[in-house]
Each structure stands twice: as structure tokens, then as C-alpha cells.
Amino acid sequence: MSIVVRSQLGLIERLTGTIDDCGPASLATAATALGVDTSSKQAHKACEQAGRKDTAMGAEGTSAAQVRDAAKILGLKSRIVYDWSEASNKTKAGSILILNIQASTRVVPEHLRSKWQRDFWRKHPSTTYGHWIVLAYEAGSWIYACPTMKEGALGRIATPTEVRTLRDSKGDAGFPTPPAMVLISK
């Protein structure tokens, strides 16, 4: 299994420049990794069917329940988990994990950042934002994919320490823990 990024960049709301489709794009990345070739637009449509509402002027985001339910619409097995041991073990056994993080320059190491993130944080270095990302486990390594990466880019290797930092980012930023995680499998 190789992780090929399905990007959210093509889904930016042109009127406002809002970039709030990391959930659907992460789902498309996970589905494609599991052999269900899915575009970000197809996953966005599934998330809408699962209850996600887009407006022209706001950043709504996608809930864990909407990601879970949209995965089922795409014909995949999915469930929300809150226990890291379970999420980690299932991912190491072949599931794909969609994890909600609090993205920041402290949390996302330079080698995992997309061009979009580098440009964004150059202008807004202290800004953090809620963000869905994809984690897989392949050949003894964690593989990280961010939906702000270029369409078709390959996932990047993340160390166990980097994965822990991503996992703990919501709690470290003062949000309730544990973070929302959605396990996806065939």
C-alpha cells in the first residue's frame, strides 16, 4: 500500500479563499490507499451526504462522525476511536487512520510540511488550525499524508516521536483529549 495524496487545494472556496476540506480530502487519500480510487470531490460529495454543510462565506470543517459516515457511503468500514493503543495497533495491521490535529509550526516538522503550509506559516508563523491528516503504517514506518500537499504526492515517513507530537497536538493546545480519530478499512 502506498499513500497517494488527494489534495484539498482544488476545493478552496474561490469567493473567500476558505480552505476547509481537509476531512474529505483525507478520506479520499485513505480510500485510495485501500484500493477504492476516490477523488477529493467524490469524498466531499460523500461528506455532504453524511451531513456536512458548506456555505460560501464560512469555514465549516468536517466532524469525525461525518468522516466516518462518508467512508461508509464510499463502501468502506469505518469507526471513530479515542484510544491511541487501539488506533496504533489497527493502523499497524493495515487500517488507515485519519487523525484530527492542531496544526502549527511546532507540531508539523519542516520535512512533513506542504508548500501551502510553508507559505502560510511564513506569513502567519504563530497561527494554529484544526486539521485532518492521514497516517498509515508500511514496512515498519509511519507514513504521513497531509491534504494540503500537492495532488498525487506520495506520503512521507514520520518518526514515532513526530506521530506522538501530531497525536498530542490537540491536548497540548488546550482542546479536550483524546483527539478524534477515524479508522478506515476495507
Is residue 77 within 8 Å of 93, Cβ to Cβ? no
Query: Is the bond into 178 cis (omega within 30 degrees of 0)?
Result: yes
CATH architecture group of domain 9-185:
Alpha-Beta Complex (3.90)
Query: pLDDT tens digits for 87-128?
Result: 999 999 999 999 999 999 999 999 999 999 999 999 999 999
Q: Where are the domains of the chain?
A: 9-185
Q: What is the pTM of this model?
A: 0.95
Length of the chain counted residue by residue: 186
Is residue 96 within 8 Å of 185, Cβ to Cβ? yes
How many Å from the N-terminal Cα to the C-terminal Cα in the chain? 13
The residue behind cell 488546550 is 174
Label residue 167 by pLDDT band (50, 70, 90). very high
